[in-house]
Each structure stands twice: as C-alpha cells, then as structure tokens.
Amino acid sequence: MAYVPVIKICGVKTPEILDHVIAQRADMVGFNSFGKSPRYIDFATISGLVDRAANRIESVVLLVDPDDALVDAAVATGAGWLQLHGHETPERLADIKARTGKKMIKALPIGSSEDIAAIAPYAAIADGLILDAKPPKDATRPGGLGQVFDWTLLNALDPGIGFMLSGGLTVDNVAQAVSQIRPFGLDVASGVESERGVKDPALISRFIANAKAEI
C-alpha cells in the first residue's frame, strides 16, 4: 500500500475555512478550546463546526490539562477525537479514554532524547500521537508556536510507534519533512496562517499539495 500521510489542519475557527480544508482533502480538522490560544473558539462554536464536518472529515477537540467538566463539554460537541496537549500523565489519558469512550490523541513536546524516551507509555494508550516542538519555559501555550524541533532526535524512536509530526511545519519545509521523516501524519496550525490565528486558504492548499508532492 502506498505511503500517504494523514493531514490534520488544527485551529480552524470558521465554516468557510472548514469547508476549504475539506475541499482540499485533509483528513482531520482540529478545534482549539484552550482560552490562551489565538485559535480559541468556545464549545458552542465547536459544536456547530463539528456538525458541519459530520461525515466529511474527522473532528478533533484540543484540550490542555482539562478537568472532568471540560472533558465532558468537549465530548458533548460530538467530535470523534479528543486531543490532550498539556501535562497529562499516561494515567490521566487512560482515565479520560475509559470514561468517555472517545479516540484519544496525545501531543508530546520534543526537545531532547529524554523526551523521546517518555513517549512509549503514551503510545500504549493513545490512538494517536503528535510530536511537537517543546515550548520555552516561559511560554503561555503548549503548542502552535511555529517552532521546529531537531528531527534527528526521532532516530531513537521505536520505529513501531506511529506519530504525527508537528512544530513549525510550513509550505516551505513540509515536503522535506515527509521525505526525511516519513511520519504517519502531519499536524499544522500556525504554518497555514496569514497572521496569528487567521487561517489562509491559499497556504492550506499549498501545504497539502507540497505534503503530497514527495509521495
């Protein structure tokens, strides 16, 4: 079977961008419920977008260190996936998965070989993994910062662990990422924006085309 990376466009906020992402044949769309993010939208808006996306694309709600009330609110949107992008432990991930019955993505920060070593316990539980650039200590957000991590660190990762590559992906480097890393998937937010938090349809189209150019 030919290699085709899964493409997830994260931080979609409007029906128009959602429709464009679907028309460009992305595989997943992410909706951000983290209040400090420039891509934040409330759960009512997320619910409307999830309804619009139904049977057209996989929907993901991004949560950061959520309590049970936030998890329940995310589940109530009807999205098929929950993405945990905070400091959640493998035990917390397993608890949320068991309690909600939802498919789970865990985003993990990568900045050193120690971070690679910490992946395996999550891989045993999550339905998907996102490997993102580790944010600086003073960052107010855990991702979407447009930073690339050292991809050579992934050489030490168990090749049996599939993951989506994230962190600083753009129209200019995504083909290299696909060629060099061959990840299961690609997750992009800031790299397809004309300004912080504002998706650019042309950049979305170019990103997806460039991602598939190396296949």
Task: State residue 141's pLDDT score.
Answer: 53
Would 119 be classed as within a structural domain?
A: yes
Q: Assign 2 a pLDDT band (cuts: 50, 70, 90).
A: confident
pLDDT tens, 66-78? 999 999 999 999 9
Q: Spell out the residues 6+ positions from residue 120 whose beta carbon is closer than 8 angstroms to its own.
A: 158, 161
Q: For residue 125, give the CATH number of its domain.
A: 3.20.20.70
Q: For residues 54 and 28, what is the distance between their CA atoms, to the nearest angstrom? A: 11
Average pLDDT score over residue span 136-140? 57
Pairing of β 103-110 and β 28-32: unpaired
Chain-centre distance for alpha carbon 154: 18
Q: How many domains does the chain have?
A: 1
Residue range(s) defining the domain that contains residue 42: 6-213
Task: State residue 162's pLDDT score.
Answer: 96
Would 1 be classed as within a structural domain?
A: no
Would 195 be classed as within a structural domain?
A: yes
Is the predicted pLDDT of residue 189 greater than 90, yes or no? yes
Neighbours of 132 (CB within 10 A): 26
Average pLDDT score over residue span 155-172? 96
Q: For residues 171 and 208, what is the distance between their CA atoms, to the nearest angstrom? A: 8
pLDDT tens, 34-69? 999 999 999 999 999 999 999 999 999 999 999 999
Would 151 be classed as within a structural domain?
A: yes
